[in-house]
A and B are shown apart, each in its own frame.
Chain A
């Protein structure tokens, strides 16, 4: 108790080591450092954990390098639907929003839902209305849409027409190092070594990414680039209180109205008297496995320390290549883990080390 700690992320993804353009990598590292500094300064100034995580996530939302706020990825209709949630570990109060298209800082609106409404979660039209009522900063939807994300959407739609077969018995269509899938993201060429395809023998399931053949007449067929750029932050303040906040634009080419794990308390965000957790990954898996809550449950019911709980959740419960999370404990520990090739992240502890990382 008494020592602060902070961990933040800019999303887990499939960026293989050494496959980021030098420029993109440099800019990402600079952003992570800068935003970490914002969080550290706030903690050193005795701001509460809730205030700190909101502040940090706002900064991440502002930065178009990450998929939240400005720079959010687009739905299948080319629109933006942002979501966020925040939780105060001290009281378990929480707030969440979904389906935003004009709100500059979804995480701040989530906080207002928590503080200024009788509810915990407001979505879509109702949330936009609440935003206006509360006088938060809004902007034309166009403001949030970047050229890069338009390209990503086009690319995603193109790959939809290709049926990918990852079954053990079928020829390895995509997972071939001589034929890597590439796209230009405006920052350089990214070579994604494999894609995650949701599939299951009898149709769509939000099933595992094992090698099953996916085909189902009449069902929607989508290929998701496994980029899970959500942003989030968790911190424990000098009073030993934890908080967590997460924000995102969601999945590229998602169906309109699709809600991921980010605004779901217990899935993408969770905080209680023991810890704070913010996740990033394939939202559907985080929801099924109630990932964020799982860390806290293992700590509490199995009486394991933060590090072990985080390891179990990310490496034993969550299917491979599905994501990662950052966590802090009330006693000032930090744990970050991911089962994808990459996760943009940063952390610091009072009187201790600071780090930023990608792989």
Chain B
């Protein structure tokens, strides 16, 4: 028993050629956010408060695709979504289609606590944010040059694509111009064959000193996604879920995660088959979610932590009471 926390910054085809500077920046952010969460748990904050705190921090960092730094829709706009869930009560809140809210996860929490609803989207959600006096900024605040470039490249190739792969392609170009075209062609073919895996999400799960679990997930979605496209992140049971047994935050190809009701499935297998968190996660990520489609972080009410992926990589970090800090990218 004891507290435990895990967080993720996205799963996908993260190339091992990731530039050192980038790798270090990501690891520093993951570590920083982890420590924030650990410190809050050690001060006996509730799991719900902790996951919101950590995800806010991840949203603030433009290096991840959530809040500021969100990837762009096909119209060049930002449409953010998030979801938060409290294990013991199973209360939850979700939002979609946000373009001016600095902390989507906080708005999701307000939907949960201040309305009779669970899920608010688009204009209605934006109206609610203003009504609640939540911090908002001009849409341009959320748009980074990097993401504008990603969108431009995606539209050139007319692909719905993911950010990590694009980055590594650019890197390869710098080191070995000759192979760029071939690599691009391969990627285009791969994309044409199957839905490109996408993994742009941030999330956090925690269990506090009282054994209560909570989960929070936030994202900008898919680069070049259709305007109005909603992914797994705000869908309770798909990208985010928590109950008396565990908390789960998933990341990957949103569409695949929705079809596989990933987050709920982990909890259902634990509950009905009476197996451990690790076994349940292994079954879902190893067998039920098609390969290359995503990963998740999860904690159990009894203090277990599990992080799993069936993609090349997933930015992640975890720690449990009495344990050590673990940060990872690849398998």
A interface vs B, CB < 8 Å? 92-94, 96, 98-99, 117-127, 129-130, 198, 203-207, 216, 218-220, 222, 224, 254-260, 264-267, 270, 283-284, 287-290, 293-294, 297-298, 301-302
Contacts and interface: CB of A to CB of B under 8 A. Distances in A.
Contact of B259 (A206, A260, A265): A265
Contacts of A254: 117
Given A119-B229, A259-B118, A266-B236, 12 more contacts: A98-B230, A123-B122, A203-B113, A206-B116, A206-B118, A219-B113, A255-B124, A257-B123, A283-B118, A290-B237, A297-B264, A301-B272
Contact of A204 (B96, B115, B121, B238): B115
B190 to A, nearest CB: 14
Contacts of A283: 118
B160 A125 contact: no
B90 interface: yes
Contact of B120 (A119, A125, A207, A258): A258
A195 B93 CA distance: 24
Given A288-B91, A293-B264, A122 B228 contact: yes
B145 interface: no
Contacts of B113: 203-205, 219
5 contacts: A119-B226, A120-B255, A257-B122, A288-B118, A293-B268
B97 A123 contact: yes
A298 B90 CA distance: 19
Nearest to B261: A266
Nearest to A223: B116
B92 interface: yes
Interface string B103-138: 000000000111111111111110110000000000
Contact of B115 (A129, A220, A270, A297): A220
Given A255-B115, A288-B92, A301-B273, A119 B255 contact: yes
Contacts of B261: 265-266, 270, 290, 293
Nearest to B262: A266
A276 to B, nearest CB: 15
Please provide the 9 A-B residue pairs with the shortest distance between their CB atoms, ordered closest to farther.
Answer: A126-B228, A257-B124, A301-B272, A256-B124, A126-B227, A297-B268, A290-B237, A259-B119, A121-B230
Given A121-B230, A265-B261, A290-B236, A259 B120 contact: yes
Contacts of A222: 116
A284 B258 contact: no
A302 B114 CA distance: 36
Interface of B: 89-92, 94, 96-97, 112-125, 127-128, 160, 195, 225-231, 235-238, 241, 254-255, 258-261, 264-265, 268-269, 271-273
A298 B228 contact: no
Contact of A290 (B128, B160, B259, B264): B264
Contacts of A267: 236-237
Contacts of A219: 113-115
A220 B116 contact: yes
Contact of A125 (B115, B225, B227, B258): B227
Contacts of B125: 257
A250 B238 CA distance: 21
Contacts of B260: 92
A257 B108 CA distance: 13
Nearest to B85: A288
Contacts of A290: 236-237, 241, 261, 264
A294 B259 CA distance: 14
Contacts of B231: 121
Given A120-B255, A206-B92, A284 B226 contact: no
Contacts of B119: 258-260, 264, 287
Contact of B121 (A118, A124, A284): A124
A116 to B, nearest CB: 11
A257 B128 contact: yes
A298 B18 CA distance: 43
Contacts of A265: 235, 238, 258-259, 261
B116 A124 contact: no
Contacts of B265: 297
Contacts of B269: 301
Nearest to A218: B114
Contacts of B120: 255, 257-259
A293 B96 CA distance: 22
A257 B127 contact: yes
Contacts of B91: 205-207, 288
Contacts of A93: 259
Contacts of B116: 198, 204, 206, 220, 222, 224, 284
